[in-house]
Structure 1
């Protein structure tokens, strides 16, 4: 078994384990192509993908045809995530490398990216045994295969991959081969610059494209144009601090008595509680304010239930 095969196995096993323990956001549990795309954009808007920008650029904007990663993801469209959905639900057993790497990003698999995983698994030499040529920058999703893509799938994916293979294969092969001889110092510097730029610019996304409003999605607020209409969603004025720092804690079992005074809670029912990273209005009921989580609340709704 090659290194990448082992990496793929660990990533999909991590996905299923988190799903069984209900540690995944609803978008990943349902595994809808549209939900997958929206969740990817949500993470991008929040700045959570600052360390993954190089990986994602090679998947969604390998030829720098688009002004930014957000545009590349949107142009790729929900249909482009169909192959990822097939991998997650077990319909595809031999996915393209880009699909595996994208799932690793979305489920916060550690360690990542793949190069870091190889180094930690094989020691400081970082020897990569049996890895296939990384086709992520050449053709992230590959040709349409019967096991990868349903017959009714939109032709967007087919067209985009055809264009990348036929028009830009040579230039990207050159880039791929050259990147393999970068020194560790140059790589570290590049990753540092990308991460810094991502962190500095992620929260400025809301200022572009008329994103002066926001709405609640699963575990955070997402910037959106005030004129946009989303069924079943309340659009409210943008608060950059809330977009950046306000999160629903999706794994309450990680809370301890040390969390007292550091987290807040709201009650969806009389016998349950949801926890959040900062004070504010309870997203499920805008008429209620979140309350500081006391020792009693942590014991009753966390320690007595999860420990």
Structure 2
């Protein structure tokens, strides 16, 4: 189950990286850069609930719970396994590296025990309440009406925006009763958070093989996405993990073209 948590953390890293929402220290990490990033993140958001993850990586501070000195004095070679995890996501790695990455990128459901309680198979996904029978029936009727009588997925947070639609790049939450010229689906917060179309495929690297997913529109047309799931353009089909073959056939030519 921890492997599922690790994958979600790494998927979130990839999403933020492709959206340009990470610092340069995390986009092109080195041991020194990660040490500096830890110092900045700790100064910006020293949240007590993160202390267990910090203690796991940096050890217990000599003076209370102030990790500043521990971070500043750490042997930066200890960050190398984390760099390997980022660059080679399928590699085996100590849990402390995943937890530190979750902290650095501000992954919401951290540490692992929090994720496990909220999303680890024993309970609903984050944001999804366990509906009572009456609430579930009402939601079923709303979604059935909004989708023309076809229930696509019974996943909803029963909040103010229990439906979503694909805008070409992202899933956008929306009220099921709102009029819009797009196909509405029941909300799936995993897809809202993590599934995005990659608009600049030439930024992908060999390290993204197996992490990025794709959908083949035609012989010469392929779209790439940041996470697994149903294809937004055809929800009856699944996105496939990018292989080395797909990378070499579709990404490398775009990289070569962008350099001209």
**Higher RCO (CA < 8 A, seq sep 6+):** 1
TM-score (norm 2): 0.43
Give me the TM-score of the superposition, normalised by structure 1: 0.37
Higher strand share: 2
